[in-house]
Amino acid sequence: MRLFANRHIRKLLLAVIGILFFYAFAIQCLNRQFSFSLLLLSFAVSITILVFFIDYFKKQDTLLENAVDQINLFLSGQKDERIECNEEGELFYLFQTINNLSSVSAAQTEREKQTNEFLKTAISDISHQLKTPLSALGIYNELISDAESMDDVRHFSEASGAELTRIDVLVKNLLKIYRMDAGAITFEKHSESIAEIMDDLKQRFSYRAEIENKKLVFEGEDIIFNCDYEWISEAFGNIVKNAIDHTSDGGIISVKWVKKGNILNVMFRDNGSGIHPEDLNHIFKRFYRSRFSQDTQGIGLGLPLAKTIIEAHGGIIEVDSELGKGTTFSVNFLIPTKL
């Protein structure tokens, strides 16, 4: 029996047997007239006590064997396995502690798995997205080397500069998205003026709009909103940039914001090319490129990044579009009511 493999249990049982037999012998010596009957009774009592001891230790041994089996199953990869501990006592307290340790270990393993998947996806995305601009840079470099005139050199240099800008934007946006995915960004929220945020955006895009003969219209009240100024500017800026990218010469991009009750609503409208119905459910997916889009410069990260930032601020972004007539992005934030 495995029970007797434990030397402490063996010593205890031998000690109990010895004590009981010594007790029986002492009783026999003191009561000789009942020697045989008393000896038999003492022997029966000794055996009964011994049986109870053995039964108790067998149950304890079974509990420990089951616990070891559950621990081995956990170590073999079955992270949901736990030791049953429905009773009270020091042994069951130990089992509960082991279960808690298993839960912590399983959670840590899951986090490490997610981290590895995250890194794998990030590296895959970055390497895949860099292939096109890097290939283009290689081609432009060869063309510059073989150029026969300064005009050709200037032309291909400008094209190379555009690809370098594309790589810069790609890497920065990817890092922002993956940092947010990893929980490495803490938003510093303060009471900010939406009017000031929009004024900065207007100045940021006014030059581009002017040279592309597009009109920017910003209208709204001076509403105070609790947000991270830089990140909300990033989100709104990506939406405005997307509108400019898909609006033709003479187009109008309007941004209007208003407070309705305890809701801050921001509307981004343009009269550009619109979004094909097939694409409406996919525009917030990373790297999504529509087969209907004429945009050759976009990398498919601006809108997903904007959505991530807006949702991190407790907001909701929705889109409505009509092909050939324009697109409207509606962003809503809940402004908590002061008690």
Average pLDDT over residues 235-244: 92
pTM, whole model, 2 decimals? 0.57
Does residue 339 surpass a pLDDT of 50? no
- Please tell me which of 5-19, 134-148, 179-193, 284-298 the model is most confident about, judged by mean pLDDT: 179-193
Q: How far apart are CA 309 and CA 228, in angstroms?
A: 10
Strand 326-334 to 316-322 pairing: antiparallel
Q: How far apart are CA 269 and CA 303, in angstroms?
A: 15
What Å distances lie between residue 80 and 85, 95, 129, 187, 250, CA to CA?
A: 15, 15, 39, 35, 62
Q: Select from 324, 338, 230, 218 the least CA-distant residue to 267.
A: 218
At 248 the three-state DSSP class reads coil
**Superfamily of 190-334 according to CATH:** Histidine kinase-like ATPase, C-terminal domain (3.30.565.10)
The percent of residues above 90 in pLDDT, for the chain, comes to 22
What's the chain's average pLDDT?
78
pLDDT of residue 296: 47
pLDDT of residue 186: 80
At 250 the three-state DSSP class reads coil
pLDDT tens-digit profile of 37-70?
666 666 677 777 777 777 777 777 777 777 777 7
Single-letter code of the amino acid located at 328: T
pLDDT tens-digit profile of 86-115?
766 666 677 777 777 777 777 777 767 766
The domain segmentation of the chain, as residue ranges, is: 2-81, 121-181, 190-334
Least confident of 133-137, 143-147, 251-255: 133-137
**Going by C-beta distance under 8 Å and a sequence separation of 6 or more, which residues neighbour residue 282?**
288, 290
At 78 the three-state DSSP class reads coil
